[in-house]
């Protein structure tokens, strides 16, 4: 397992760059991971990330539809926040495992 240093903290990541331990996550780390993918995180981004972290903690299967119905952002907005990877990128920035759903 590889480690990476974000915001002065060493975190474990898998070979696709997803954090292994969600409890190591914090906002500063998220900002730096997102920067690697060329995305600057705003408050709206963080609302989505918090939603995903909570849902992940409860063991829910994450889909863009779930996020779209969260009241935070619609699906179109989600694509605008995380271009080219609405669920993959957001999960990566949220420090949770890569989503295993097909929708």
Partner 1 sequence: MAEIKESPLKKVCIICAKGSIEDVYATLVMANGAVMEGIETKVFFTFFGLDAITKKQMKRLKTATVGNPAMRAPGGLPFPTVLGMIPGVEAGVSAMMKSQMYKLDIPPVDEFLEMITAGGGELYACKLAMDMFKLEKEDLHEEVKGVLTVGDFYAMCGGEHTQIIFT
List residues binding partner 1 (CB under 8 A): 61, 63-66, 68, 74-76, 79, 83-88, 101-103
Q: How far is the CB of 101 from partner 1 (least distance, A)?
A: 7
Residue 63, SS3 per DSSP: coil
Pick the closer one to partner 1 by CB: 50 or 74. 74
Residue 102 falls in the annotated catalytic set: yes
Instruction: Count the neighbouring beta carbons within 10 Å of the beta carbon of residue 13.
Output: 19
Question: What letter would DSSP give residue 82?
Answer: S
Pick the closer one to partner 1 by CB: 24 or 63. 63
Non-local CB neighbours of 63 within 8 Å, separated by 6+ positions: 87, 99, 101, 103
For the annotated catalytic residues, the residue numbers are 102
């Amino acid at each position: 397992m590889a480690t990476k240093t974000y915001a002065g903290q060493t975190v474990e990541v898998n070979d696709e760059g997803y954090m292994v331990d969600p409890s190591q996550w914090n906002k500063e780390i998220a900002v730096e991971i997102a920067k690697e993918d060329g995305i600057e995180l705003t408050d709206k981004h963080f609302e989505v990330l918090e939603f995903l972290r909570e849902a992940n903690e409860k063991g829910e299967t994450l889909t863009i539809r779930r996020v779209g119905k969260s009241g935070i952002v619609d699906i179109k907005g989600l694509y605008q926040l995380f271009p080219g990877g609405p669920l993959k990128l957001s999960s990566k920035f949220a420090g949770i495992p890569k989503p295993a759903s097909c929708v």
